A and B are shown apart, each in its own frame.
Chain A
């Protein structure tokens, strides 16, 4: 897949070099402009409006009264334990769930890549958790972990894990359930992306390595991983950005209690529960900036890698 993208990219570049005429460029601008207008309307305007709202304060006592607040909302966020707690939880959750998903997803992809009977069926079945709505699966997990009545605590206690633990009501354990629910749901997605990457690695590379006497581990370490790297990086970017914006799992599972409140969750709570439009918008903008920042870092460091890796293949 990546090789194909790379080839496509190269093709495009070549074409561009050939036709650098100003007329062509004007045509390109013209063709792009409808898309640009749509993006401006559906993305830029709301984002700009949210930024504007984050600089204001709307009165909760007098109808229609508001004032320009400058950076007050931001300094309030930076001075609150709520915000920093959410930052910590969000990054902890992202780090834990994405790394687990990568390991498990890679395992699943390797298993699905091997030729065996019923492979098509397995590939379909594996995707089921990913197809379930997050809210629905979150409710299922919450029911599973309900104290006394849930299946999970009873089973786990039998095998000696978490005796007398209220899973969703204790710090650490609550995060563990949240990570588990996320991994269960999105590892298949990771696996699918990686499987696509595996399928473009030609078999003859492995055959050649085998002839040279490379062990299975060496083949995995020296062939699979490097050639799979572009797919891994793409999957990591997708999942990291997704995980940083996590809202539905903590909303349903814990309501943000016991060290599980995330950036999106506190922004939603300030906006809709407390009706604090300015402060809530500031939290949303901060979430946006953090996610943007992380994607920027990814693209600067890893993105370059993808390009060079893709060009090597």
Chain B
């Protein structure tokens, strides 16, 4: 955290430097070297930052730090609801109305391409081409749409396997073993409800199997593949043979967490937030976490979550907005996010910070998890693609359709989504 005026001044200087984009060498304790390349007046004007509810107060701290460092600028935090779907709905309402209320948007990684496709964001490729190095690669992928960057990685996320240390010796190396051990013990819980979370749970297995759902160029559905069928068969069999209780089909994050904490499961797939809460529960000393196992003899893989910061196309103060985004994604501010709000940083070096390690005892595993994770399909029609995935995975889990049938239906529906006008 910034305590000395010197540091403040240095940071502030770095900010303006970056905006102008011509070179000079400066020194500071926390900034990325690439950013220290220009001289210009300090950021100025009013900037409104629209992001989800500041439950921990960390967003407010970052805003205060920025305002202190930039006396001529004034960032205001506009808190949206806690629920991601509601945040998106409210942002879209404003963007459709060309509202100038929000300058900086806090967007879930999966909305970035969608917003970009609608022309709701300003291109930040210039900034990203200079600063991409400091971010973990998988987080940068989520800002890319049609060859340009439309956001800056703000915080990241990736799932873990939680396992009961009193029931199994160690986390299994493969999903196959995990299900076997789950069946022999109390089962595995995950997010099997029909929603975005199921898409994530499915892709984590599919990515490990080496499968994809859309082609590299984003024009073709590729879900009618052996890999998709294998994963669907594996998941459906898990429900059928009891390795995964069928209650999973009603679980989102919180329901699965409650089931795990009440001692009803041996394994759980969940996000890092469940760790601290689990350490407060009656199984506090009886669980540990691990990165994802592999499937079909491959390496484990994950799916990147988290938020990007983007500049609204209707922002009144785009220069100030960019200055703020740069400030908020710097290592020292990321450290505040990590320690105060448990938000996983997007800058790799932050994970080595002792204070971060103390706040997140699983920091090393988390960084590996994010590094091994991949982005969800980056597409302007992502919501429809995801719907095609979770609807059909859900039907396969419920035994309403066979895995083969579900795979081909998923493929058709993704193709149809890709051909949306």
**Could you list which residues of chain A lie within 8 angstroms of chain B, going by C-beta atoms?**
57-64, 67, 146-149, 166, 168-169, 255-258, 272-276
Contact = CB atoms under 8 A, between A and B. Distances in A.
Interface stretch (B165-173, B247-255, B324-332): B247-255
A63 B255 CA distance: 39
B302 to A, nearest CB: 24
A275 B421 contact: no
B117 A255 contact: no
B195 A61 contact: no
Given A255-B193, A257-B394, A272-B89, A63 B250 contact: no
Interface in B157-192: none
B89 A257 contact: no
Contacts of A276: 384, 420
B383 interface: yes
Q: At the interface, is chain A mostly helix, strand, loop or mixed? A: loop
9 contacts: A59-B421, A60-B118, A60-B381, A61-B420, A62-B119, A146-B258, A256-B194, A273-B383, A274-B384
Interface string B185-208: 000000001110000000000000
A273 B85 contact: yes
Given A60-B118, A275-B114, A149 B262 contact: yes
Contacts of B119: 62-64
Which 8 residue pairs are nearest across A and B when measured between Cβ atoms?
A63-B119, A147-B247, A169-B250, A169-B249, A257-B194, A274-B383, A57-B421, A168-B250
Contact of A148 (B85, B89, B114, B264): B264
B380 interface: yes
Interface in B394-421: 394, 398, 420-421
Interface of B: 85, 89, 92, 114, 117-120, 193-195, 245-247, 249-250, 255, 258-259, 262, 264, 380-381, 383-384, 387, 394, 398, 420-421
Given A60-B420, A63-B120, A258-B398, 11 more contacts: A61-B117, A61-B381, A62-B119, A63-B119, A146-B250, A149-B262, A166-B250, A257-B194, A273-B85, A275-B383, A276-B384
B220 to A, nearest CB: 16
Nearest to B247: A147
A169 B399 CA distance: 12
Contacts of A272: 89, 92
Nearest to B261: A149
Contacts of B117: 60-63
Given A149-B262, A275-B92, A166 B249 contact: yes
Contacts, number: 71
Contacts of B85: 273
Contacts of A258: 398
Contacts of A59: 421
Of A57, A147, A166, A258, most B-chain CB atoms within 10 Å: A147
Nearest to B258: A149
Contact of A60 (B249, B250, B380): B380
B255 A146 contact: yes
B260 to A, nearest CB: 11
A67 B421 contact: yes
Nearest to A148: B264
Given A57-B421, A257-B193, A275-B92, A147 B245 contact: yes
A148 B246 CA distance: 11
A6 to B, nearest CB: 46
Contacts of A273: 85, 383, 387
Contacts of A67: 421
Contact of B195 (A57, A58, A255): A255
B273 to A, nearest CB: 19
Given A147-B245, A257-B394, A274 B387 contact: yes
A94 to B, nearest CB: 23
A69 to B, nearest CB: 8
Given A166-B249, A273-B85, A274-B384, A63 B118 contact: yes
Contacts of A60: 114, 117-118, 380-381, 420-421
A61 B380 contact: yes
Nearest to B89: A272
A59 B380 CA distance: 10
A149 B114 contact: no
Contacts of B250: 146-147, 166, 168-169
A146 B69 CA distance: 49
Contacts of A58: 421
B113 to A, nearest CB: 10
Nearest to A167: B250
A29 B209 CA distance: 72
Contacts of A169: 246-247, 249-250, 398
Contacts of B255: 146
A142 to B, nearest CB: 9
A24 B201 CA distance: 71
